[in-house]
Structure 1
Amino acid sequence: MANLEVLYNDDCPICSREIKHYAGLSGDDVTFVKITEQSAADWGLTEEQAAKQIHARSGGNVTVGVDAFVSVWQRLPYYRSLSLIVGWRPIRFITDIVYRNVLAPLLFAMHKRRQRRQVNSPR
């Protein structure tokens, strides 16, 4: 199995906590890449596009959203069973709708609010 790279938003406290947990379980099989202008460009994305959803790639194949999570979970102990459950087509369909239409937009909106607060905060 080729190494998996995961592009994630380290500025998001929820995302960074989850990725830190995954990194502790993954060993050398998964590389976690923080979103920067350069790392996003390496994936053919802007920082904003990259921050909207989690992205993963392995062997030139890029997955986004729930499919990216499944790619990660397949490589982690304790999560392989979850990858099989969520990977099952009816469940993947539902989780994809919830992630794309509720969770990802909510996390992205929180990210944008944090960015605005940082810009507007007195130093």
Structure 2
Amino acid sequence: MGEQPRVTVWYDSQCPLCAREIAWLRRLDRHSAIHFIDACDPKAGCPIDRQEILSRFHAMENGRLISGAAAFAAMWRTIPSLKVLGMLAGWPPLTPIFEAAYLAFLRIRPRLQAWMHKAGKG
């Protein structure tokens, strides 16, 4: 039996990009250290407004709600094969770089989502 989840993440199951990434992370999370919550599920508990949860990646670590690169870093640290990446992303001198990369991704995310929706129908 796996240990108690150490990180909770909320994800957008309606986003094909997000759904694919979460499926990959679930496979890597062999110790069930992450509790994945589909923020699109009306029954899902969200600690803040659902639209806000869906607009930016959020996680809860040690009772603290975090978002963006910090949330990814927390999640990555729980997965042995991604732990080093999570530690680098959480290291204060590098955190702003990871956050800038995440913000750049958010700007192109709608185009990637549209492309994935189109590719899935073709």
TM range (shorter): 0.7 to 0.9
How far, CA to CA, are the matches of 1:34 and 1:111 in structure 2?
20
Aligned length: 111
Contact 2:58 2:71 in 1 (8 A): yes
TM-score under structure 1 length normalisation: 0.75
Contact 1:5 1:32 in 2 (8 A): yes
Match in the other structure for 2:89? 86
The one-letter amino acid of 1:49's match is E
TM-score under structure 2 length normalisation: 0.76
The match for 1:31 among 13, 32, 35 is 35
Structure 2: segments with no counterpart, 5+ residues? 116-122
After the TM superposition, which parts of structure 1 deviate over 4 Å for at least 4 consecutive aligned residues? 110-114
How far, CA to CA, are the matches of 1:76 and 1:112 in structure 2?
26
The one-letter amino acid of 1:104's match is L
Match in the other structure for 1:66? 69
Percent same amino acid at aligned positions?
22
**Cα deviation, residue 4, structure 1:** 1.4
Cα displacement string for residues 81-101 of structure 1 (whole angstroms, at most 9, x for unaligned residues): 11122222222111212212x
Cα displacement string for residues 13-53 of structure 1 (whole angstroms, at most 9, x for unaligned residues): 111111111111213211111112443x631213x211211
The match for 1:42 among 26, 41, 46 is 46
The one-letter amino acid of 1:50's match is I
Contact 2:7 2:34 in 1 (8 A): yes
Match in the other structure for 1:103? 105
Match in the other structure for 2:16? 13
Contact 1:5 1:58 in 2 (8 A): yes
Greater fraction helix = 1
Pick closer, same or farther for the CA change 1:77–1:30 going to 2, 3 Å.
Answer: same
**Cα deviation, residue 111, structure 1:** 8.4
Give RMSD over aligned pairs.
2.5
Structure 1: segments with no counterpart, 5+ residues? 115-123
How far, CA to CA, are the matches of 1:60 and 1:54 in structure 2?
16
